Amino acid sequence: MKAWYLIHSKPRLEAVASEQLQRQGYETYLPLAPVRRRKRGRMFSDVGPMFPRYLFIHLSDKTDDWGPIRSTIGVANLVRFAQSPARVPDNLIEALKQREDSKGVQILASTGFEQGEKVRIAEGPFEGYEAIFQAHTSKDRVILLLQIAEKQISLKLDESLIESLA
C-alpha cells in the first residue's frame, strides 16, 4: 500500500528534485501557486511552489527502494517525526489536486480585503501610495480611495497590484 510522504528540498530546487525523482521512477507531486516576485524593483506575477522547499512523494514501505531518495539532486532529506517519515494524508493531496486549474496551478481564494482596510499600491504609477480599499468589482479588480493633493480620488486597479499593510 502506497502513501504520500514529505520531502524537504534544497533552496529553490523543488522542481529539480521532483524531476530527478521522477526520472528514477518515483511518483512526486509539487503543487504550484501564483506568486508575486520583485525583479529590478518591479513586481510581477509568476508561478512557484505552493510550499517553498517541500514536495510530496508517493511510496510503498514494502516494495519501493527509499535509499536513492536522499542522494537525489535537489533533495535535502525526507522529513521525519522522531524516527518515522512524515506521512501526509491522501485526502490532503487529493484536495490540492482538485484545486488546480488546467495548467496545474492552485486556484487560491481572494486575499479578502475588507472595506475600509488600508492597503499599499505595489506597482504602477501610484506605487508606494497608501489607499483605502472600497470594493471588489469584476474578476480581480478593486476600487480604492486615494488621497492626492487634499482630494480623494477613486481608482480601479488589478487586485494583484495591492498589498495589505497589516
Same domain for 82 and 126? no
Alpha-carbon separation of residue 32 from 50, 84, 87, 106 (angstroms): 5, 27, 20, 6
CATH of the domain at 128: 2.30.30.30
My answer on whether 94 and 123 are in the same domain is no
Same domain flag for 139 and 91: no
Regarding whether 50 and 123 lie in a shared domain, the answer is: no
Tell me whether residue 141 is in a domain: yes
User: What's the average model confidence in pLDDT over 13-26?
Assistant: 97
Q: What pLDDT digit, counting tens, does each position of 69-79 carry?
A: 999 999 999 99
* Statement to judge: residues 84 and 20 lie in one domain: yes
- Does residue 83 carry a pLDDT above 80? yes
Are 149 and 90 contained in the same domain? Answer: no
pLDDT tens digits, one per residue of 97-132 = 998 998 889 887 666 788 888 898 888 778 888 898
- What is the mean predicted confidence (pLDDT) over 31-46? 79
- Whether residue 21 lies inside any domain: the answer is yes
The residues near 157 (Cβ < 8 Å, ≥ 6 apart) are 121, 124, 141, 142, 144
Calculate mean pLDDT across residues 50-70.
Answer: 93
The closest alpha carbon to 8, from 87, 70, 89, belongs to 70
Find the mean pLDDT for residues 143-165. Answer: 81
Does any domain span residue 14? yes
**Domain presence at residue 131:** yes
Least confident of 10-14, 69-73, 154-158: 154-158
Q: Are residues 9 and 61 in the same domain?
A: yes
Residues 123 and 94 in one domain: no
The C-alpha cell at 151 is 482630494
Quote the pLDDT of residue 139. Answer: 61
First to last CA, the chain: 45
Cα separation, 91 vs 134, in Å, equals 37
Domain around 144 = 118-164
DSSP letter at 53?
Answer: T
> What pTM did the predictor assign?
0.68
Range of weakest confidence among 4-18, 60-74, 92-106, 150-164:
150-164
Instruction: Tell me, yes or no, whether 46 and 126 share the same domain.
Output: no
The string of DSSP letters for 113-162 reads --TT-EEEE-SSTTTT-EEEEEEE-STTEEEEEEEETTEEEEEEEEGGGE
∠ Cα 57 46 132 (to 5°): 120
Q: Is residue 106 part of a domain?
A: no
- Answer with the residue of higher pLDDT: 151 or 144: 144
In a domain, 50, yes or no: yes
Q: Indicate if 80 and 134 belong to the same structural domain.
A: no
Question: Is residue 9 included in any domain, yes or no?
Answer: yes
Residues 33 and 89 in one domain: yes
Same domain, 82 and 147: no
Number of domains in the chain: 2
- Within 10 angstroms of residue 80's Cβ, the number of other Cβ atoms is 12
